[in-house]
Structures are given as C-alpha cells and as structure tokens.
Amino acid sequence: MLNFLEILIRGLMLGSVYALVGMGLTLVWGVVGIVNIAHGEFVMLGAYFAFWAFSLLHVNPLFSVALSIPVFFFAGVVVHRRITERLVKEHELSALILTFGMSILIWNLAQFLWTNTYRSVPYLTGNFPFMGLVFGKSKTISFGLAILITTAIFLFLRYSRWGKAIRATSQNSEVALVCGINTIKMRMLTFGMGIGLAGAAGAIISLQWVIFPQMGGSYISKAFAIVVLGGLGNIQGALAGGLIIGALESLVTQYLTAKMAQIIPSVTILVILLLRPTGLFRK
C-alpha cells in the first residue's frame, strides 16, 4: 500500500509538469484559435536553454527556469507577430499544417546543431525522505515550481485587467474588439504566455529527465490529451488533466509495462473525444 501511494504521488508530481505543457497549449488554442503543434518543440528548446545555461555559463538551473519565462515569452511574441497572426482569420487547418511544418523545422535544426546525444542537467540529485516515503529532490522541487507557475497564471487570468481582456477575447473576439479591447495585442500576449509556459516547462523538465531533439513529440501528445481531458482553454481543467495523465502513466508503468504507458495519451484522446468531447469538466 505504501508502495502504491509512493507511485501515485510520483505520478502526480510528473503530471504537474505535464500540466504546465498542456496549459500553454490550451491557452493558445482557446484564445488565439491556433493549434500549435510546434508547442512540444518549444518545450525542447526550453530544456536546451537550461542545459546550455548550466553547462556553458554555470547558471543555476532554478534561475534558468525563472529566466526562461521572459525569454520564451518574447520569442513567442515575435513568432506570433511574424507568422501566426496572419492565420488567425484563415481556416484553422492552415495553422495546423503550418505549425506542423514549424515543429519539423525546429526539431531537425536542433538535431543538426546539437546532435542526437542524450543530455541531462546534473543538479539536485538525491532524495527527500518523507514519512517513510522517498522522493527525488529535483522532482519535488519541480512539482513546487509547476504548482507555483500554475497558480500565478490562474490568478493573472482571473483578476488582472489583462487577464480579463484575454478571457473576453477568447469568449468572443469581435465583441471584445467592440468593447475597446485590443484583441490583436491580447492574442500576441497569449501566444507569448503559451510559449513562455512551454519554455519554463522545458527548463523544469531538464532538471529531472534526459533531453534530446525529438523529445517534443512525446510531450505534445500528452499535452493534446490534457487539452482534450480538461476542455479547450480551461486552465483548471488542464491542471487536473495533467495530474490524471501523470498518475495513469506512473501506475501503468509500474503494474503493466513502460511500453503500455506510452499508449495512454493516444487512448485518452480517442476515448474522451468520442465519449465526452467537451472535456471532463463542463464549465
């Protein structure tokens, strides 16, 4: 039983980081209306950002996590202004194919520049013993960071003026525009936030798992499962979805096989889309 509890808690810690990835995706999708398939690649870039900062400049990885948010926010703003804003009015499938191309471009460039070597950030190794259970230090701290960022985003969207404007844009872009909200700016901000979240998630991931150019693919499929589980544009839903996916993955890995755990996102997407296409939590 103790073992089960430990595995479950590990899964939830894992899930909190997945939730961070899923939240960026759901935010951009819900507000900007663009399904960013390249989201996983920004996670990968975030991980490499922390890795290079650590190995070349000896920057503390926790500081890299904080630093990655503004850096990736501006990267996202630039990408949106230059590329994706043009597609907002187009059919949503155009954006889907475009970001698909972007994803392939980014991970292949990364592979070309940094090769296929598996890398990791050796920081915070060791364990915290807690009430007879054992948790990895880096995993526990990642969990704390993920929850912190999630709370900050939630409060920002809920109470700040910009947060309200972003939510208005997501509900009805035209009415928001009539009410004097600069919807183009709000979409830009949201895209930046989404990419910022992806970068931060990547930096956090680099603390605990190996990083390599193709890693984005496995995170994007989990992120899609999270969006589908939580409902489009729903931040709390994304958090819950992330925790569910993480817990499932941890339990299946333990009690079945690691290969079976990789099927979870695909199965979740198919089952939820067919049975409850609005997500688990109706608003």
- Give the shortest CB-185-to-other proteins separation in angstroms: 22
DSSP-based three-state secondary structure for 206? helix
Residue 52 exposed, middle or buried by CB count within 10 Å (0-12, 13-18, 19+): middle
Q: Least separation, in Å, of the C-beta of 149 and other proteins?
A: 25
> What is d(CA 17, CA 19) in angstroms, rounded to the nearest whole number?
5
Per the structure block, which two tokens stand in for 268?
């979740």
φ/ψ region of 275 (left if φ > 0, alpha if ψ in -120 to 50, else beta) reads: alpha
Nearer to other proteins, 148 or 267 (CB): 267
Element housing 57 (H / E): helix 39-57
Closest to other proteins by CB, 30 vs 136, is: 30
What tokens appear for 74 in the block? Answer: 């501006």
Nearer to other proteins, 62 or 96 (CB): 96
Q: Point out which residues bind other proteins (CB under 8 A).
A: 35, 83, 86-87, 91-94, 96-98, 100-106, 108-109, 111-112, 221, 224-225, 228, 257, 259-260, 262-263, 265-267, 269-270, 273-274, 277
Q: How far is the CB of 182 from other proteins (least distance, A)?
A: 24
Kindly tell me which of 93 and 152 has the beta carbon lying closer to other proteins.
93
Q: Shortest gap between Cβ of 266 and other proteins (angstroms)?
A: 3
Count how many residues are written for the chain: 283
